[in-house]
Amino acid sequence: MDKPMMPQTRRLYFEDAYSLEFEAVVLEKRTYEGSPAVVLDRTAFYPESGGQPWDKGTLGGVEVLKVLDLDAVILHVLRADVPAGRVRGLVDGPTRFDHMQQHTGQHILSQAFFEVLKGETLSFHLGADVSTLEIGLRAVSDADLDRVEDRANAIVREDREVKTYFVPEERIGEVPLRRPPKKQGLLRVVEVAGFDYSACGGTHCRRSGEVGLIKVLGYEKIRGNVRFDFLCGSRAVADYRVKDRGLRRIAGLFSAAPKDAAAQVEKLAADLKSLRKRSCRLEERLAAFDAQEIIRGASGRIIAAVLPDRTPEEARFLALNIIRSGAFAVVYGATGEEQAHLILARSESLTADLRLLIPVVSAVVPVKGGGGPSLVELVTPAKDKLGAAVEAARAWLEAHQDEPR
Ligand SMILES: [Zn+2]
């Protein structure tokens, strides 16, 4: 029932989804979350609804920030106020057409899922980059998915008419809807001729051919169902372009055909894994060898140096190799990417508590870190004073020599 005193917005996008310019009268001015907003007597702007985002564009030259469906009226939230009276609206064409492609493609894909796998559509979201479709399936195989995609793209190729018409609620039973309607009263039916019948208030292409390529990108299991990502039309072409160029670059690295690139990368990853293992073993052997060399050249139990060619990890590894080979105390300095590291280590057969070195070192450079009696690791931002810090630690150890137990 119409309430004659209440304002109503005529939805021009129901009548013609391709009409982007219109003239309207401002019926009411409101504010929405601090922004000015207007109700018009008619609008071509689609409001956020049914998983489809609102249209972009301008009213009286002012940017439309958001469009809301308040049942009887549509609220346009604006960047700035517009004068009362007549106003000219302009819907952004590329965004509108993109939404039409994604939404019409969704109807076709939903029906293809139902036809091929008896999978019912549970929800749809038209995203800024990718759209999603949740289907009532426990699982899906690649072969099944290919059949669904092929069926959907066959409907596109057949260039079927996409009709919209209104049916009173009491006669909706005569229309073979894919899903029962969520609304009451006069229902808007969108029919991809002879293929899919949906109750829907969105904007759609007039022929299935305009949807272009329909491509499912991937899926994940969610709430016991399967949620698919998909792209239609220009989005699918843009995605194909990016992936094709990326794959060609990868294939070029192997002088392989794009179809063989994945196998080449898998082989490379396996090679890398075994080389890493081998490199690890070699590093261990080298460190043991280095430790023996250093021990041979040492004049006492204390070994202290800045190691300019080693990473802190390598310095720590070397220190541990030395203290395991005899009764030694080691002070190594090594520079990492951000900070300098000081590694203080001693054999278990010695007794000095290396934590006593922390105040000694911190008198020379600011340090953070700590450790136990036989192993302390400190870091300092003062890379240029690393030599002085190592020397201070060495001097302390010389003055506090202990004998092996
Ligand atoms: Zn629709």
CA of 135 to the centre of ligand 1 (A): 16
pLDDT band of residue 3 (cuts 50, 70, 90) is very low
CA of 68 to the centre of ligand 1 (A): 17
Write out the two tokens for 383: 């890379």
Q: How far is CA 112 from the centre of its chain?
A: 28
- pLDDT at res. 402: 74
State the chain's mean pLDDT as an integer.
Answer: 94
Ion ligand 1 neighbours (CB, 5 A) are: 103, 200, 202
CA of 27 to the centre of ligand 1 (A): 28
Look up the pTM and report it: 0.76
pLDDT digits (tens, 9 = 90+) for 25-56: 999 999 999 999 999 999 999 999 988 999 99
Average pLDDT over residues 265-293: 93
- Does the pLDDT of residue 185 top 60, yes or no? yes
**CA-to-CA distance for 277 and 108, rounded, in angstroms?**
51
- Does the pLDDT of residue 360 top 60, yes or no? yes
pLDDT band of residue 319 (cuts 50, 70, 90) is very high
CA of 70 to the centre of ligand 1 (A): 19
CA of 333 to the centre of ligand 1 (A): 67
pLDDT digits (tens, 9 = 90+) for 191-212: 999 999 999 999 999 999 999 9
Write out the two tokens for 228: 């698919």
- pLDDT at res. 1: 45
DSSP 8-class letter at 25: E
- Does the pLDDT of residue 15 top 50, yes or no? yes
**Are residues 60 and 43 in contact, defined by beta-carbon separation less than 8 angstroms?**
no
CA of 193 to the centre of ligand 1 (A): 14
pLDDT digits (tens, 9 = 90+) for 222-266: 999 999 999 999 999 999 999 999 999 999 999 999 999 999 999
CA of 153 to the centre of ligand 1 (A): 17
Who's near 187: CB < 8 A, 6+ residues apart? 166, 167, 168, 169, 172, 181, 199
| Most confidently modeled range among 110-114, 169-173, 180-184, 311-315 | 110-114
Q: Which helix (H) or strand (E) segment is 290 a member of?
A: helix 261-297
CA of 203 to the centre of ligand 1 (A): 6
pLDDT digits (tens, 9 = 90+) for 341-359: 999 999 999 999 999 999 9
CA of 353 to the centre of ligand 1 (A): 75
CA of 114 to the centre of ligand 1 (A): 16
**Are residues 79 and 62 in contact, defined by beta-carbon separation less than 8 angstroms?**
yes
CA of 108 to the centre of ligand 1 (A): 10
User: One-letter amino acid identity for 106?
Assistant: Q
CA of 124 to the centre of ligand 1 (A): 10
- Does the pLDDT of residue 2 top 50, yes or no? no
**Are residues 196 and 107 in contact, defined by beta-carbon separation less than 8 angstroms?**
yes
CA of 283 to the centre of ligand 1 (A): 62
- pLDDT at res. 5: 58
Instruction: Of 126, 120, 72, give the one whose Cα is nearest residue 98.
Output: 126
- Does the pLDDT of residue 182 top 90, yes or no? no
- pLDDT at res. 176: 93
Per-residue burial over 223-242, b = 16 or more CB atoms within 10 Å of its CB, e = otherwise: eebbbbbbbbbebbeebeee
CA of 50 to the centre of ligand 1 (A): 8
Higher-pLDDT residue of 121 and 4 is: 121
CA of 25 to the centre of ligand 1 (A): 28
**Are residues 73 and 8 in contact, defined by beta-carbon separation less than 8 angstroms?**
yes
